[in-house]
C-alpha cells in the first residue's frame, strides 16, 4: 500500500506566554490520501489554521511544535531544518492563504512572481517559465492570460487574485496543498468557481488538499472527508456525507443542526450554549463538557480518545461501549 500523502500523528503545538505555556493543538492525528480533499472545520480558535501552519512549518516563535510527527509521502518533515523545509515549501507543499493580497507582492507583476516561483522549484528557462505561467493562468480560469500576466495584483479583482494565488500554489505540481479559508472574502458565485477549481486539482493532478474553513457549505461541496475540530483536538472525523447526515459527537451535531435547510422544516436552528474556552482556561476532561447536554461525571475528569464507529471516529465517552460493559 502506498503511504498517505500527509500523515499527522499526535501533533501538539504550544505557545509560551506570561500566563505559562498554552497548548493550541493537543494530540491531533489524521491522514490525507493522494487526490483526497480533507475539510477541517470548527469555530474560530479551534486550531484549524494552526494545524495547517504546523504542517507547512510556519509556526512563528513563541509558538513551537512540542510533540508528535508529520510525514509527507512517508518522509518525516517536522524535524527538518528551516532550510530543508523551505525547499519542500512551494515545491512539494503549496499554500493558499485566506487573503490573496497578503500572498502577492504588490510591487511585482503577476507574471514575474509566477516565473520566479517556477524558476526556483523547476529547471525551466526564463522563456519556458513564462509560457508555463501563461498556461497556469489559463488553467485557473483567468481570461486573456497572455495580457493579464503583465498586470499588477491591484489590477485584479478579489476572485481573480485568489486564482493567481492558486496558480502560484500549483505551479511546481506539489503533492499537498493547504488551503486556509480560500473562499472567505469572495462573493457566492466566485466561491463556487474557486471550489470547483480546488476539486479539479485533486481529480486532474492527484493533489492531496487540506481545506481549512468554518463554512460547512464549502466542506460539503468540496471535501471527501471532514475533520471537526474543537479546542485544539479532533472531535469527529469521517466521510463528509456521514458526518453531515449522521453526526455523532454532540459538538458536530450542534454544528450540523445550526445549518439552515432549503426545506425550512425546522422551527428553530440548533444553538450551542456558551463559547469555546480560551487556551488559558481549557477545562479538564473533555473540553466540550461545559457546553454538552449529555455530559456526565467521566466527561469532567477523563479526556476521551477517538473511538471508531463505522466509517467515523469520534472522541466522546458516549460511544465507549467497552467501558460501559465493564461498568455494568
pLDDT at 313 (0 to 100) = 96
- The answer, as to whether pTM is greater than 0.85, is yes
CA distance 77 to 100: 26
* pLDDT for residue 325 is more than 60: no
* pLDDT for residue 102 is more than 80: no
Collapsed DSSP state (helix, strand, coil) of residue 68: strand
The count of other CB atoms within 10 Å of the CB of residue 241 is: 13
Percent of the chain predicted with pLDDT > 70: 95
pLDDT at 326 (0 to 100) = 45
Starting at the earlier edge strand, list the strands of the sheet with 6-17. 20-32, 6-17, 63-72, 75-76
Domain ranges of the chain: 34-58+81-223, 241-260+283-328
Tell me the average pLDDT across 88-104.
Answer: 84
Tell me the average pLDDT across 279-301.
Answer: 92
What would be the CATH architecture of the domain defined by 34-58+81-223?
A: 3-Layer(aba) Sandwich (3.40)
Q: Are strands 176-180 and 208-212 parallel, antiparallel or unpaired?
A: parallel
Query: CB within 8 A of 229, min separation 6: which ones?
Result: 28, 40, 41, 42, 46, 47, 48, 51, 235
The count of other CB atoms within 10 Å of the CB of residue 217 is: 14
CA distance 135 to 241: 35
Tell me the average pLDDT across 161-189.
Answer: 86
CA distance 166 to 318: 41
CA distance 240 to 327: 33
Q: 225, 36 in Cβ contact below 8 A?
A: yes
317: cell is: 465517552
Tell me the average pLDDT across 18-46.
Answer: 92
Could you give the residue ranges of the DSSP H alpha helices within 250-289? Answer: 250-257
Amino acid at each position: 500500500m502506498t503511504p498517505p500523502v500527509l500523515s499527522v500523528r499526535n501533533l501538539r503545538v504550544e505557545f509560551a506566554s506570561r500566563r505559562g505555556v498554552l497548548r493550541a493543538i493537543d494530540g491531533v492525528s489524521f491522514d490525507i490520501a493522494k487526490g483526497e480533499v480533507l475539510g477541517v472545520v470548527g469555530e474560530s480558535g479551534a486550531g484549524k489554521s494552526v494545524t495547517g501552519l504546523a504542517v507547512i512549518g510556519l509556526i512563528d516563535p513563541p509558538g513551537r511544535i512540542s510533540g508528535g510527527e508529520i510525514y509527507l509521502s512517508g518522509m518525516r518533515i517536522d524535524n527538518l531544518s528551516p532550510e530543508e523545509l523551505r525547499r519542500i515549501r512551494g515545491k512539494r507543499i503549496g499554500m493558499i492563504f485566506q487573503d490573496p493580497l497578503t500572498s502577492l507582492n504588490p510591487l511585482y507583476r503577476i507574471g514575474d512572481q509566477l516565473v520566479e516561483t517556477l524558476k526556483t522549484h523547476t529547471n525551466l528557462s526564463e522563456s519556458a517559465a513564462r509560457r508555463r505561467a501563461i498556461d497556469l493562468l489559463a488553467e485557473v480560469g483567468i481570461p486573456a492570460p497572455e495580457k493579464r500576466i503583465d498586470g499588477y495584483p491591484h489590477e485584479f479583482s478579489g476572485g481573480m487574485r485568489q486564482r493567481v494565488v492558486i496558480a502560484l500554489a500549483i505551479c511546481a505540481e506539489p503533492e499537498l496543498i493547504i488551503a486556509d479559508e480560500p473562499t472567505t472574502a469572495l462573493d457566492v458565485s466566485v466561491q463556487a468557481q474557486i471550489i470547483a477549481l480546488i476539486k479539479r486539482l485533486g481529480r486532474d493532478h492527484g493533489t492531496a488538499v487540506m481545506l481549512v474553513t468554518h463554512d460547512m457549505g464549502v466542506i460539503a461541496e468540496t471535501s471527501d472527508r471532514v475533520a471537526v475540530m474543537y479546542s485544539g483536538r479532533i472531535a469527529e472525523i469521517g466521510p463528509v456525507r456521514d458526518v453531515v447526515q449522521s453526526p455523532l459527537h454532540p459538538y458536530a451535531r450542534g454544528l450540523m443542526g445550526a445549518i439552515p435547510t432549503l426545506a425550512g422544516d425546522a422551527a428553530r436552528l440548533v444553538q450551542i450554549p456558551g463559547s469555546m474556552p480560551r487556551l488559558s482556561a481549557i477545562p479538564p476532561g473533555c473540553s466540550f463538557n461545559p457546553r454538552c447536554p449529555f455530559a456526565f461525571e467521566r466527561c469532567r475528569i477523563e479526556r476521551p480518545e477517538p473511538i471508531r464507529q463505522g466509517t467515523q471516529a469520534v472522541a466522546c465517552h458516549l460511544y465507549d461501549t467497552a467501558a460501559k460493559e465493564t461498568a455494568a
